[in-house]
Chain A
Amino acid sequence: GQSLEQPSEVTAVEGAIVQINCTYQTSGFYGLSWYQQHDGGAPTFLSYNALDGLEETGRFSSFLSRSDSYGYLLLQELQMKDSASYFCAVGQTDSWGKLQFGAGTQVVVTP
């Protein structure tokens, strides 16, 4: 089987930095991706890591440590529009094409 754990909620003020952690237990791990979902909206792809290290895309960065079965999404210079749910998702080599999503982290940005 496999499991994904991420915090249920994080609150931060505008301009701050938020780190959303994701730990996973899965056989045949291939990679980790992150999605953003605003209330009532569709999930949108943010980033993907297959190798250890940091991937940067504008204000958002994602990190992966395969040896620690751990990754995180870093949101910098928080803006009100970043208030949303963020999901990590893992893919396995023996389930090619399928993603397993975590339960999501609600990020609340306050003025």
Chain B
Amino acid sequence: NAGVTQTPKFQVLKTGQSMTLQCAQDMNHNSMYWYRQDPGMGLRLIYYSASEGTTDKGEVPNGYNVSRLNKREFSLRLESAAPSQTSVYFCASSDETRNFFEQYFGPGTRLTVT
């Protein structure tokens, strides 16, 4: 099992460009999450999907959109990138039948917006 995979690993964008971060999990988990982590800080939830077809805003949703494509895949889109969106983005998943406190994270995407 690969667990949670994310692409790309690194990305540099110019202000105003758009891009989609991809995330997939092979653990048959219902819930998936997108977080951002800025230097020296904890993780902040951007969007959350409790199940296929549902999404909900987290703490910092402005400037982002998400799509829960199917049970396995959850993508994050930046429509018009801004320097403030320079961060490390982590995707995670959890098994609701067990415990949403136990989340499994992907390796992250390091995004720089110039």
State the A residues within 8 Å of B (CB): 4, 31, 33, 41-45, 48, 87, 89, 91, 96-104
Contact B41 A97 (CB under 8 A): no
B11-19, B73-81, B95-103: which lies at the A interface?
A: B95-103
Contact B102 A42 (CB under 8 A): no
Shortest beta-carbon distance from B43 to chain A in Å: 4
Contact A44 B96 (CB under 8 A): no
**Residue from B41, B99, B101, B103 whose CB has the most chain A CB atoms within 10 Å:** B101
* Chain B residues with CB below 8 A from A4, complex form: 42
Contact A96 B100 (CB under 8 A): yes
Interface SS of chain A: helix, strand, loop or mixed? strand
Contact A43 B90 (CB under 8 A): yes
Contact B108 A45 (CB under 8 A): no
Q: CB-nearest residue of chain B relative to A8?
A: B40
Interface SS of chain B: helix, strand, loop or mixed? loop
Number of A-B contacts (CB under 8 A): 59
Contact B101 A101 (CB under 8 A): no
Complex Cα gap A100–B103 (Å): 13
Contact A31 B101 (CB under 8 A): yes
> B103 touches which one: A41, A45, A102, A104 (CB < 8 A)?
A45
Complex Cα gap A82–B63 (Å): 36
Contact A43 B101 (CB under 8 A): no
Q: CB-nearest residue of chain A relative to B58?
A: A98
What would 14 A/B residue contacts be, using CB atoms closer than 8 Å? A42-B108, A43-B43, A45-B103, A87-B42, A91-B100, A96-B100, A97-B96, A98-B45, A98-B58, A99-B101, A99-B103, A100-B59, A103-B42, A104-B41
Complex Cα gap A87–B92 (Å): 15
Contact B102 A45 (CB under 8 A): yes
Contact B45 A99 (CB under 8 A): yes
